[in-house]
Structure 1
Amino acid sequence: MASIELKNVTKTFDKHNVIENLNLTIEDGKFTVLVGPSGCGKTTLLRMIAGLDPQTSGSVLIDGKDVSQTAPGKRGLAMVFQNYAIYPTMSVRDNIEFGLRNNGVPKAQRTELVESISETVGLKDYLDRKPSTLSGGQRQRVALARAMVKKPGVFLMDEPLSNLDAKLRVQMRIELIELHKKLGSTFVYVTHDQVEAMSMADKIVLMNKGEIQQEAPPAVMYRKPSNQFTAQFIGVPPMNIGSMANANAQFGFRPESAVLSTAPVEEAFKSKGRIITREMLGSETIYQIKNDTHTFMMKSTNDQYDAGQEVYYGVAEKHLHFFDQNEKRYDDTGSEHQQLLEKLRGLSRA
């Protein structure tokens, strides 16, 4: 296991700073997920840790040791890529032991390691098969097994599940969570999928335009986003954001926090509107509701409402968030939050 620290790291491409003076600590043994939209810098960050694209300035430390000038193969890391990067002409066994053979590991030790690791990832019965005969999930396990035989302190994973279908992605997420618990290694995982981030991470690092927007466990990031970007990136559907007349601020609430009714409701924020769209998703139904000033998304276990119907809705005080003119969230224990809450009560109508 190993901790990772990036100190004042900058990465420049064509005289443009993609990442500038970034500081980040990745805890030993944790499953840390770097998430954000395409082009936000998360893969660049991962490759700097790996040494594949060294930083322009700043330092990368692994277990307190500066590895900025250390070759990728000497950093004690293993990387799993999006496209698996396995050799199609080699058997599964040969793929897994390829690195061991190159490093001069004796045959008996190689065999023992391959047998042990392949059993851990469920490949023991496939060792003599070629990758072309395997499913996408099995090929991903080959890539994982090849990384695992190195017994690295850190696993770096760059969108490893993006080529799999939706059902298999869910299965592989569970397997990766279980694998992390079994190995106890440090996992650094890159994805643009916030559902993957929420379901897998001990800690999420949310990035946008080369900057860290928030670092927090999934529950904290969901319940107490630090800004509007976080509030609307994390969560499906995203947080509703509304403007407040005569106030230099905005309010927000999660779609599932709203109460829907055919009669007026008594909540801190209340209004009425007409259902524009209705999506029945099984146990939940998502409604798009429009009034004179806003269009909001509501998520409900009640599917009794129809498109075109007028409904009342409200949000309790504890579920309301407020953001300043710079889109930073006000602390819900602060005086600004309370003042805006009272103002919103006055603006509410239903």
Structure 2
Amino acid sequence: MASIEFAQVTQSFNKNVIIKDLNLKIEDGKFTVLVGPSGCGKTTLLRMIAGLDPQTSGSVLINGKDVTRIAPGQRGVAMVFQNYAIYPTMSVRENIEFGLKNNKVGKEERNRLVESICETVGLKPYLDRKPSTLSGGQRQRVALARAMVKKPSVFLMDEPLSNLDAKLRVQMRIELIEMHKKLGTTFVYVTHDQVEAMSMADTIVLMNHGQIQQMAAPEVIYRQPSNLFAAQFIGVPPMNIGDLGVDGAKFGFRPESAVLSVEPLDAHYTVRGIVATREMLGSETIYQVKAGQEAFMIKCTEDRFSVDQEVYLGVDATKLFFFGADENRIDPADARYGEYMRALKGQRHG
């Protein structure tokens, strides 16, 4: 196992700065997920840990040791790529033991390691088959087994499930969580999919434009987003945001925090609107309610309303968020919070 630290790290390509003066500590043995939109710098961080794209300045430390001048193969890390990068002409066994052969590991030890790892990832029946005869999930397991057989102190995973169908992604997420629990190794996982991040991570590192927006446990980012970006990136559908009309501030609430009714509601924020769209998803229904210039997404456990129906939307005071003109979330202890609560109550209509 190993901790990872970025100290004042900058990464630039052809004068284009991707990461600037970044500081980050990834805890030993944790499942850490780097998440954010395409181009936010998350894969760049992963490749710096692996040594594939050395940083322009600053230091990357693994277990307290600066690895800047240490070759990728000597860092004690193993990387699993989006495209699996397995050899099509080799059998499953040959793919998994390839690195062991290169490191001059004896045949008996190789066989023992391969059999043991394949038992863990469920590949024993497929050892003599070629990758072309395997499903996407099985090929992903080959890539994982090849990484595991090196017994790395750090697993690096770059969108490893993005090529799988939705059902298999769910299954592989569960398998990866169980694998992490079993191995107890440091996992650093990159994805743009916030559902993967929320379901798998001990710690989420949320990034945008090469900067860390928030680093916290999934439930903390969801319940206490540090800024407008975090509030709208994490959550499906994203947090509803409206203009407060005071100081350039905005208010927000989660789609599941609102109540819809055909009768006026007694809530801190209420508005009358029209159901514009309805998505019935089985256990829940998502409505888009248009109220004047605003449009809000509402998640309900009951399917009670129809398109074009007039409804009242209500949100309790405890479910409201406020963001300043700088887009940072305003804490309830901030003097502005009470002022903004009163301002929003004054907007009440319907």
Bin of the TM-score, shorter chain as denominator length:
over 0.9
For residue 343 of structure 2, what is the amino acid of its counterpart? K
Q: How far apart are the structure 2 equivalents of 1:144 and 1:235? A: 29
> Aligned partner of 1:129: which letter?
R
Shift of 1:230: 0.7
**How many angstroms apart in 1 are the aligned matches of 2:325 and 2:278?**
32
1:205 aligns with 2:205: yes
Render the CA deviation track for 1:15-57: whole Å, top value 9, x for unaligned: 1111100010000000000001001110011000100000000
Using the TM superposition, give the Cα deviation of residue 292 of structure 1 relative to its aligned residue in structure 2, in angstroms.
1.4
Residue of structure 2 equivalent to 1:196: 196
The residue correspondences of 1:17-36 to structure 2 (distance < 5 A) are 17-36=17-36
Aligned equivalent of 1:165:
165
Aligned twin of 1:70: 70
Report Cα offsets for 1:290-329 as digits up to 9, x if no partner.
1113111100012110000000011111110000001110
Cα RMSD (Å) of the superposition? 0.8
Percent identity reads 71
**Quick check: 1:57 aligned with 2:57?**
yes
Cα offset, 1:246, TM superposition: 3.8
Partner of 2:270: 270
Secondary structure of the structure 2 residue equivalent to 1:322: strand
Distance 2:23 2:42 in 1: 13
The aligned counterpart of 2:335 is 335
Structure 1 partner of 2:308: 308
Q: Which residue of 2 aligns with 1:2?
A: 2
Moved more, 244-253 or 315-324: 244-253
1:170-221 superposed Cα distances (whole Å, 9 cap, x missing partner): 1100100000000000000000101100000000001111111100100000
- Aligned runs of 1:157-306 on 2, under 5 Å? 157-306=157-306
TM-score (norm. length: structure 2): 0.99
Deviations 1:54-111 (A, max 9, x none): 0000000000000011000000000000000001111101110000010011111111
Distance 1:210 1:330 in 2: 24
Q: Distance in 2 between matches of 1:264 and 1:213?
A: 38
Q: Is the CA contact (8 Å cut-off) linking 2:247 and 2:325 kept in structure 1?
A: no
**1:107 corresponds to:** 107
State whether residues 247 and 324 of structure 2, in contact with CA within 8 Å, keep that contact through their aligned partners in structure 1. Answer: no
- Per the alignment, residue 147 of structure 2 pairs with 147
Distance 2:341 2:186 in 1: 42
Alpha-carbon distance in 1 for matches of 2:220, 2:18: 27
Query: One-letter code of the match for 1:140?
Result: Q
Within 2, Cα distance between the matches of 1:337 and 1:67?
46
**Residue 347 of structure 2 aligns with which residue?**
347
Q: Distance in 1 between matches of 2:34 and 2:249?
A: 29
For 1:102, give the aligned amino acid: N
TM-score scaled to structure 1, two decimals? 0.99
Runs of 4+ deviating beyond 4 Å: none
1-side partners of 2:248 and 2:186: how far apart?
Answer: 43
Structure 1 portions without partners, runs of 5+: none
Could you give the per-residue CA deviations for residues 261-312 of structure 1, whole angstroms, max 9, x where no partner exists?
1101111111110000011000110100011131111000121100000000
Greater shift in the superposed pair: 305-314 or 330-339? 330-339
